[in-house]
Structure 1
């Protein structure tokens, strides 16, 4: 029987390539110390899936026939360990993959011998295997959805902007950057931050994990700090000096942005919406643990906004989206189906229209998505400008996030440059309602 770590990885790969579904956030929750191996192995398989399959194909008796998914998974996991995880012994990498191939629900037993033969040959020269895999074109690992996301990320900034590279070179540079596992960013909520966290020199209040430092899990579990991506922190570092008495976080879970809003505007009445019952319950627990006073309402945000008569001085609409900007954190993203974009863009526009109706005179509405695709961001901005001419663009973010600009210059759009900015791919805009 394969080890639990490898079984968890195999299940996750079947979810992605069999069901075209995301890897669940808690997929490795019960693994303990073995989670490190599982995380590394899953990341390698997802980021190198195309070239792993391409390396195997000419070594099959009938390359054009292909092999079942269970065989693909077993081979990919075995090869990834042999090529890129030197701490895993030859026998463990080969034997566990063969056992996985023989597993009824995750493998394909008739190919047990095939998996054994291919991996034993590969194990004879692991450096050569790694070199052969790295020599294969990087484009094998990015299906059309990934290329579209990369092109959308770079398009607003212009070819060579800030990097002195051509369009193709910029795309390759961005893809290379996104293949490195992201460094987590944190924010302290109370007391001293633990050793191993250092201030981010470019983003006040942001903390980064120093190299070799342990992940600060006890600090996070105590509610004294939280994980929050650099882009999320920069988004909420908006410049706004008008009075804020009523705040709405329209899509609030898991609660990081809600927490930041409460810290930025102490004393304001804060309402947080979350449609899923379990996520709403978790949101209440998280906010309580952090000492954040908020009214958490479990409701569909669009329906609630369209029926309430409440008005807010500040509305944050971090809308459901494709998640293309999270490609670095979710390397499975390029391999998903992506057939629900029309539904998502329709929902985003509905939410945006409803939120605009609930904005009080003198109030600020911030719209954001963790996506680079124009139909999820800039297209909505243009539509809102025509649909609601009474709203005015609000210049609340440093222009330097987007492009070089004179010191102190602000913009109404939020779009960090993907080659100069370390963080998730966010885009957003802000509008204000005049008094």
Structure 2
């Protein structure tokens, strides 16, 4: 299987609602033994098409007789992936993109579909130097976001900031990893220190990081800098008891254990039993032995956990609108599908408050930018729980002191995910 076919199959799986593209693609790359530059190419094409799907379709339809929707799903994704390579990537010759797309269509579909793909892409190739720019007056095409999404943020933060957010969503994120402080220091090839977060490095050109020897041997964990900040704000000390209530796949649990120097106790929970294996496997890989896992609904009271923890992390399920760079398909969610999330978030936070020891710490975090899921939830919580107050904290690098006790990190602020 080629890198291009792997990308197309992941795109088809997502379009049919069967999976998240990154989970499917990483599993497929591992199964097919696709590594290094080929794995990086597959990822670039897959995520690039998801980031620019509407724009790719817009260009393809210029040279297509009929409507795009009438095509087979796999043909649609082959066309969009080829358009992405020809229009948005600068290191792939157009003839190579056309040839590979036609051959892939022959192998997966039939000669008739291959003829259609060939005709569309050859017309596009002949017109590359005179293609119109993406329309400034239609942001849904230019940035491949829904009108609902765009209108929401224009109302909240204005048009100028929204345009910067859309550009950030369509940028190619750096691969940031935390170096395991519980192991002896090593030199990781193709890495550069993170500009402001100690213990983190950015990697380039390594493909599927989970297939590298440094990952397999427990020297690093993939984690965006912003995702680390809730744990850093908590300042977990060696010997404390900490609950990570919505822990899977375990990134914050692992960071907390390292900051605690693998001393103390962490209970890492998730409502999904099958996800706990990722925390168990990750702890073993990283040499962490203070973590216990448990399947738990964080919104349902457990008497055994009452006032049992010095620190409780509530990294609650959310709409994910801050991590669209990493999970570009989130941009296609309808706002109706996420309207009930704040109620669930409040119920989780309301219940977890009872697990904090008197004088202890409760950290609430999301990876969304929606005020309804952030201040909307915490304001409601504080109006009910007078025993809790917002506390000032300090974050690394350019962020510094957060005297208000709460902060939203935008993707446009420091080149991280939104949190």
- Give the TM-score band, short-chain normalised: 0.7 to 0.9
Per-residue CA deviation, residues 244-266 of structure 1 (Å, 9 max, x unaligned), is: 63110111122221122122234
The answer to whether the 8 Å contact 2:250/2:279 transfers is yes
Structure-1 residue corresponding to 2:290:
294
Q: Distance in 2 between matches of 1:88 and 1:400?
A: 38
Residues 372 and 26 (structure 1), Cα distance of their counterparts in 2 relative to 1, 3 Å cut = same
Return closer, same or farther for 1:212/1:47 CA change in 2, 3 Å cut-off: closer
Q: Which residue of 1 aligns with 2:316?
A: 319
Q: CA deviation at 1:229?
A: 0.7
1:186-218 superposed Cα distances (whole Å, 9 cap, x missing partner) = 222222242443333422333233x67898732
CA distance in 2: counterparts of 1:287 and 1:242, whole angstroms:
18
Name the residue aligned to 1:229: 224
Secondary structure of 1:187 counterpart: strand
Match of 1:169, SS state, is: helix
Tell me the residue number matched to 1:197: 191
- Distance in 1 between residues matched to 2:45 and 2:207, nearest whole Å: 20
Give the aligned partner of residue 164 of structure 1.
none
Kept in 1, the 8 Å contact 2:176–2:201? The answer is yes
1:179-218 equivalent positions in 2, closer than 5 A: 179-189=170-180, 190-195=183-188, 196-209=190-203, 217-218=212-213
Which 10-residue stretch deviates more, 317-326 or 84-93? 84-93
Q: Give TM-score, length-normalised by structure 1.
A: 0.81
Distance 2:149 2:311 in 1: 34
Query: Which residue is 1:142 aligned to?
Result: 145
Q: TM-score, normalised by structure 2?
A: 0.84
Structure 1 match to 2:272? 276
Deviates more, 1:285-294 or 1:409-418: 409-418
8 A contact 1:401–1:416 mirrored in 2:
no
CA contact (8 A) 1:345 1:375 kept: yes
Q: Cα RMSD over matched residues?
A: 3.2
Which consecutive unaligned segments of at least 5 residues does structure 2 have? none
Q: 2:414 matched to 1:414?
A: no
Distance 1:133 1:285, change over 3 A: same
Change (3 A) 1:64 1:41: closer
SS where residue 226 of structure 1 aligns?
strand
Whether contact under 8 Å (2:393, 2:405) holds in the other structure is yes
What is the deviation of 1:305? 4.1
Residue 385 of structure 1 and its aligned partner are, at CA, apart by 1.0
Distance, in Å, in 2 between the alignment partners of 1:90 and 1:392 is 59
CA distance in 2, matches of 1:108, 1:320: 42
2:100 and 2:207 map into 1 onto residues whose CA distance is 29
CA shift for structure 1 position 53: 1.5
Q: Which moved more, 1:298-307 or 1:357-366?
A: 298-307
Does the CA-based 8 Å contact 2:40-2:205 persist in structure 1?
no
Q: How many residues align?
A: 403
